[in-house]
């Protein structure tokens, strides 16, 4: 990148459009999978061009930005030069709607709890622990900060000081909300505090929850025969016959 308008790490940001200019023609590859905006926006921005080479990338914001907040647009590995296909790795654009850009960071590793392999495209999320925090936050609310792993490594930057819940999520629906029926999750064993916890020594271990057993439907398929549908671990089934 040679120039950004508004400039990179602008403060008191109030623009609805961002232009990023490059020294050669670039293309955007798998932008929907690669782009991570932290904190997440309710309405996705419009980014162009897509599908054709250009020396400029234009971002049009359709959402209302929070006050006194640092935003990070992390393009991952989606920006490539048009001639040779070289990747501009982990490129990001940062700005603040407040008087300064938050500069704290944290980093660490993610692994699978049951083997030495690591899944691709793992999201690592931070939730602010304040008066509105509850244990159900991962089901109901999008995080304050987010990044994606590169191999098994993660790094979240431009964070405000404070106390946070740190989790890793294999987010099948890509909505940053935990769905125990399809997602893997990993929790750090305590809240982290920044700037103290800038390096997390213990890996986040991903696992798939097994829902509690429950019967969800029953249907008579023939005389004297009833078919029961259920969810959860089948090893927990404990049915008794009732004679009427």
The pLDDT of residue 243 is above 50: no
pLDDT at 166: 98
The pLDDT of residue 239 is above 70: no
Query: How far from 216 is each of 64, 229, 230, CA to CA, in Å?
Result: 41, 6, 5
Residue-wise pLDDT for 62-110, tens only, equals 999 999 999 999 898 889 999 888 888 878 999 999 999 999 999 999 9
pLDDT at 211: 65
- For range 150-174, the mean pLDDT: 93
Asked if 78 contacts 34 with a C-beta cutoff of 8 angstroms, the reply is yes
pLDDT at 233: 60
- For range 29-44, the mean pLDDT: 88
* 206 phi, psi to nearest 5 deg: -80, 140
The pLDDT of residue 156 is above 70: yes
Q: Binning pLDDT at 50, 70 and 90, where does residue 241 land? A: very low
Residue-wise pLDDT for 181-228, tens only, equals 899 999 999 999 999 999 999 999 999 877 666 667 777 778 778 887
* 33 phi, psi to nearest 5 deg: -85, -30
- In this structure, what token pair is assigned to residue 241? 């016959």
Integer Rg of the chain from CA: 22
Question: What does the DSSP assignment read for the chain?
Answer: --EEESPTTBSS---SEEEEEEEEEEEE-SHHHH-EEESPPSSPPEEE--SS-EEEEEEE--SPPPTT-EEEEE-TT-EEETTT--B-TT-EEEEESSSS---EEEEEEEEESSSS---SS-EEEEEE-STT--TTHHHHS--SEEEE-BTTEEEEEEEPSEEEEEEEEE-TTSSSS--TTT-EEEE-SS-EEETTTSB--SPEEEEE--PPPEEEEEEEEETTEEEEEEES-GGG--------
Only one residue has tokens 């989790």, namely 167
- In this structure, what token pair is assigned to residue 42? 């309710």
- For range 35-41, the mean pLDDT: 89
pTM score: 0.77
- Dihedral sign for Cα atoms in the order 171, 172, 174, 177: negative
- In this structure, what token pair is assigned to residue 225? 């025969």
């Amino acid at each position: 990148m040679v120039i950004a308008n508004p400039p990179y790490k602008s403060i008191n940001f109030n623009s609805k459009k961002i232009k990023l200019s490059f020294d050669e023609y670039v293309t955007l590859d798998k932008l929907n999978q690669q782009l991570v905006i932290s904190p997440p926006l309710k309405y996705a921005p419009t980014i162009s061009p897509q599908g054709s080479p250009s020396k400029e990338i234009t971002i049009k914001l359709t959402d209302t930005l929070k006050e006194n907040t640092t935003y990070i647009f992390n393009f991952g590995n989606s920006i490539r030069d048009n001639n040779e296909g070289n990747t501009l790795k982990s490129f990001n654009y940062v700005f603040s709607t407040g008087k300064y850009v938050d500069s704290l960071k944290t980093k660490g590793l993610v692994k699978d709890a049951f083997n030495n392999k690591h899944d691709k495209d793992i999201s690592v999320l931070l939730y602010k622990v304040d008066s509105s925090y509850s244990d159900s936050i991962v089901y109901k609310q999008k995080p304050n900060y987010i990044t994606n792993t590169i191999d098994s490594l993660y790094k979240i930057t431009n964070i405000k000081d404070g106390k946070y819940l740190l989790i890793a999520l294999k987010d099948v629906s890509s909505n940053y909300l935990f769905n125990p029926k399809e997602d893997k999750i990993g929790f750090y064993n305590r809240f982290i505090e920044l700037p103290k916890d800038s390096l997390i020594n213990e890996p986040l271990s991903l696992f798939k929850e097994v829902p509690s057993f429950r019967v969800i439907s029953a249907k008579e398929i023939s005389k004297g025969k009833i078919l029961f549908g259920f969810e959860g671990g089948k090893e927990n089934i404990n049915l008794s016959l009732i004679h009427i």
